[in-house]
C-alpha cells in the first residue's frame, strides 16, 4: 500500500510544466489597436520506458526483472535527441496557422510568440505548442 | 567535521551554478540599431518542479511597455536555465531595437 502512495505522490509531484523553446516575434505598436490572441494545440505524449520503470517499482522478483529488461529495451529504442515525450501524431501542430487566422481574420498580426512546452505527469504528458500574438485592428 | 561539511556544501554550491542554453531565436535585424531594449523574466523552482510557464508572458509585456507606440525589431530571445544547489532558475531574456515614429 505504501508503494502505491509513494507512486501517487511521485506522480503528483512530477506534474511539471516543462518549457522547451521560446521565440518572440517583432512587435509593432504603431499600426493601430492591438487585440491579443492565444492559440494552443496539444498531443498526448507517452514515455514507455518510464511506464516500465513504474511497473518495475510496484512488482517483485521475476516480474520486476522483466519490467527492468523491458525498460532498458524501450530506453535504447528511443535513444537520441528529442524534445519531450514521443507522440502518436506528428502532424498535430500543422493546423496552428488555420487557428490563428480564425482568431485574426484580417491576417494583420504582430508580436507572434511561439512556445513549445509540456505538462508532464510521470510517464505521460501533454505536449503543447502555444502561439500568442496581437491582431492589428 | 563541521569544516568538512562546510567545504563540501561550498564546493557543491559553486560547482552546480551552471547555465544551460535551451533555445535561441532571432528576428530580422533593422538598419538603425540605436535604441536597444532588454526584457527579462524568470521563474525559480525547487528540484526543477515547475507548475507554470506564465513567466514567459511577462517578458513580452515588458518589451511592449518599453517600446510603446513603436516598432520592435531584431529581437533576440534566449531561454536559459541556471542550476544552483537544489534550485533551478528558468529565464527568458529578450533584446531588441525599438524604432519610434
User: Mean pLDDT across the stretch A113-117?
Assistant: 95
Q: Are A22 and B23 a contacting pair at CB < 8 A?
A: yes
CA end-to-end span of chain B: 66
Contact B77, B94 (CB under 8 A): yes
Q: Among partner residues B50, B57, B71, which is closest to A30 by beta-carbon distance?
A: B71
Residues of chain A found within 8 Å of residue B76, distances taken between Cβ atoms = none
Q: B29 is written with which cell numbers?
A: 535585424
Given a cut of 50, the residues of chain B with pLDDT beneath it are: none
Residue ranges of domains in chain A: 2-46+85-136, 48-83
Q: What is the DSSP letter of A87?
A: B
Residues of chain A found within 8 Å of residue B90, distances taken between Cβ atoms = 19
pTM, rounded to two decimals: 0.80
Q: Are B50 and A18 a contacting pair at CB < 8 A?
A: yes
Q: What's the CA gap between B47 and B85, in Å, rounded?
A: 9
Q: Are A18 and B59 a contacting pair at CB < 8 A?
A: no
Mutual orientation of helices A48-58 and A61-77 as an angle, nearest 10°?
Answer: 170
Contact A103, A131 (CB under 8 A): no
Q: Among partner residues B56, B72, B96, which is closest to A115 by beta-carbon distance?
A: B56
Report pLDDT digits (tens) over A10-63.
Answer: 555 556 899 999 999 999 999 889 999 999 999 999 888 888 988 999 988 889
Q: SS3 for A83?
A: coil
pLDDT of res. A77: 86
Residue ranges of domains in chain B: 18-99
Count Cα atoms within 13 angstroms, Cβ side, for A100: 21
How many interface pairs between A and B have CB atoms less than 8 angstroms apart? Answer: 79
Amino acid at each position: 500500500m505504501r508503494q502505491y502512495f509513494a507512486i501517487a505522490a511521485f506522480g503528483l509531484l512530477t506534474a511539471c510544466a516543462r518549457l522547451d523553446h521560446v521565440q518572440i516575434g517583432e512587435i509593432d505598436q504603431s499600426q493601430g489597436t492591438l487585440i491579443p490572441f492565444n492559440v494552443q494545440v496539444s498531443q498526448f505524449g507517452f514515455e514507455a520506458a518510464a511506464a516500465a520503470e513504474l511497473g518495475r517499482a510496484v512488482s517483485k522478483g521475476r516480474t520486476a526483472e522483466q519490467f527492468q529488461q523491458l525498460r532498458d529495451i524501450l530506453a535504447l529504442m528511443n535513444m537520441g535527441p528529442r524534445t519531450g515525450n514521443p507522440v502518436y501524431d506528428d502532424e498535430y501542430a500543422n493546423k496552428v496557422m488555420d487557428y490563428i487566422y480564425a482568431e485574426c481574420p484580417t491576417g494583420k498580426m504582430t508580436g507572434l510568440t511561439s512556445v513549445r512546452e509540456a505538462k508532464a505527469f510521470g510517464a505521460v504528458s501533454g505536449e503543447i505548442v502555444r502561439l500568442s500574438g496581437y491582431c492589428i485592428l | 567535521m563541521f569544516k568538512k561539511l562546510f567545504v563540501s556544501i561550498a564546493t557543491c554550491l559553486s560547482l552546480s551554478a551552471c547555465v544551460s542554453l535551451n533555445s535561441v531565436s532571432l528576428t530580422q535585424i533593422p538598419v538603425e540599431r540605436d535604441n536597444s531594449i532588454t526584457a527579462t523574466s524568470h521563474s525559480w523552482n525547487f528540484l526543477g518542479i515547475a507548475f507554470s510557464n506564465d513567466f514567459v508572458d511577462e517578458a513580452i509585456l515588458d518589451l511592449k511597455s518599453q517600446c510603446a507606440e513603436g516598432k520592435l525589431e531584431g529581437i533576440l530571445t534566449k531561454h536559459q536555465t541556471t542550476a544552483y544547489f537544489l534550485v533551478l532558475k528558468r529565464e527568458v531574456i529578450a533584446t531588441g531595437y525599438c524604432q519610434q515614429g
